[in-house]
């Protein structure tokens, strides 16, 4: 609800800025129409990135703001691609320092079910060693996989799987569900993929319902189901400049 209000206020401010920009008023630093729109958009991205501690969103919002104001800041000689390249390196460096990628941990939620975070953002270092032992047993009903600039393969052994959330940025994620059982015969996988690939391996006896929104991307089925329909898996979410493949095994 708060997010909707935030974007609602932003759109109103954008409308006001649009009208003002066409009135011919004089600014101490002249701003064009697209500069105003870009400032509002990337300024909002910066605020959201900082509030939610999203390093990539924050850094690239600043980078695009610098590009928008290259002339005013005398950065024309630096070049847009140099700024974006520096932003990418800064993002990777900060993620390696602060976000503790390549760490594995889990925690118990209030429901008493195990909630597993893979390459998570909020992991506790002292718990990271417990993950390997945990995967040998039944895993939790809800699993979250975050992958950034790496290849992640996970063998899901849950006997009451309910939901998997997958976020892959510049990464490949492989999910093996051939030893899993779905809670009450139904489960959902939500994917958020940017410049990456997600491969999901499921038994041929499962029915898979695809509702993924693809932009410059592909969602493909590899192999054929047996038609038994013993379990029903829904795959939803979005993929941009990447692929999602469901493999029947």
Residue pair 151/222 in contact (Cβ under 8 Å)? The answer is no
Distance between CA atoms of residues 224 and 204, nearest Å: 7
State how far the Cα of 229 lies from the Cα of 149, in Å rounded to an integer: 36
The 10s digit of each residue's pLDDT in 140-166 is 789 989 887 778 889 998 889 999 999
- Domain boundary assignment for the chain: 2-98, 104-248
In this prediction, residue 47 carries a pLDDT of 78
Give the residue, 229 or 146, on which the prediction is more confident. Answer: 146
Q: What separation, in Å, do the N-terminal and C-terminal C-alpha atoms of the chain show?
A: 42
Q: Provide, rounded to the nearest whole percent, the portion of the chain with pLDDT above 70.
A: 69
60-69, 130-139, 154-163, 223-232 — which is least confidently predicted?
130-139
Residue 188 clears pLDDT 80, i.e. is over it:
yes
Q: How confident is the model at residue 78 (pLDDT cuts 50, 70, 90)?
A: confident
Q: What is the mean pLDDT of the chain?
A: 75
Look at residue 166 in the predicted model and tell me its pLDDT. Answer: 94
Q: What is the pLDDT of residues 232-242, one digit of tens each?
A: 999 999 998 78
Which token pair is 55? Answer: 């390093």
Report the percent of the chain where pLDDT is more than 90.
23
Query: What's the whole-number mean pLDDT along residues 209-216?
Result: 90
d(CA 186, CA 143): 15
Question: Most confidently modeled of 16-20, 21-25, 29-33, 190-194?
Answer: 190-194
Instruction: Answer whether 180's CB lies under 8 Å from 204's CB.
Output: no
| Cβ-Cβ contacts under 8 Å for 89 (sequence gap 6 or more) | none
Instruction: For residue range 115-137, list pLDDT tens digits in order.
Output: 444 444 443 333 333 333 223 33
Give residue 206's pLDDT band: very low, low, confident or very high (50, 70, 90). very high
Residue 218 has pLDDT above 80, yes or no: yes
Residues 92-104 have a mean pLDDT of: 58
Q: What is the pTM of this model?
A: 0.50
């Amino acid at each position: 609800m708060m997010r909707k209000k935030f974007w609602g206020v932003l759109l109103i401010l954008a409308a006001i800025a649009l009208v003002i920009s066409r009135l011919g008023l004089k600014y101490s630093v002249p701003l064009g129409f697209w500069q105003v729109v870009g400032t509002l958009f990337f300024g909002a991205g910066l605020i959201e990135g900082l509030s939610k501690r999203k390093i990539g969103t924050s850094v690239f919002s600043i980078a695009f703001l610098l590009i928008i104001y290259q002339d005013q800041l005398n950065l024309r000689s630096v070049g847009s691609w140099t700024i974006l390249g520096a932003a990418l390196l800064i993002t990777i460096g900060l993620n390696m320092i602060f976000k503790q990628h390549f760490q594995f941990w889990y925690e118990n939620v209030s429901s008493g079910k195990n909630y597993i975070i893979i390459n998570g953002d909020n992991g506790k270092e002292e718990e990271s060693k417990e993950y390997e032992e945990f995967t040998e047993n039944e895993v939790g009903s809800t699993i979250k996989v975050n992958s950034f600039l790496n290849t992640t393969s996970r063998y899901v052994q849950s006997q009451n799987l309910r939901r998997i959330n997958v976020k892959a940025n510049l990464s490949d994620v492989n999910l093996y569900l051939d030893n899993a059982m779905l809670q009450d015969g139904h489960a959902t996988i939500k994917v958020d993929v940017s410049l990456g690939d997600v491969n999901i391996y499921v038994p041929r006896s499962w029915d898979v319902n695809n509702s993924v929104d693809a932009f410059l991307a592909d969602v493909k089925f590899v192999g054929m189901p047996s038609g038994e329909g013993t379990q029903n898996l829904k795959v939803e979410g979005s993929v941009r400049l990447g692929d999602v493949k469901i493999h029947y095994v």
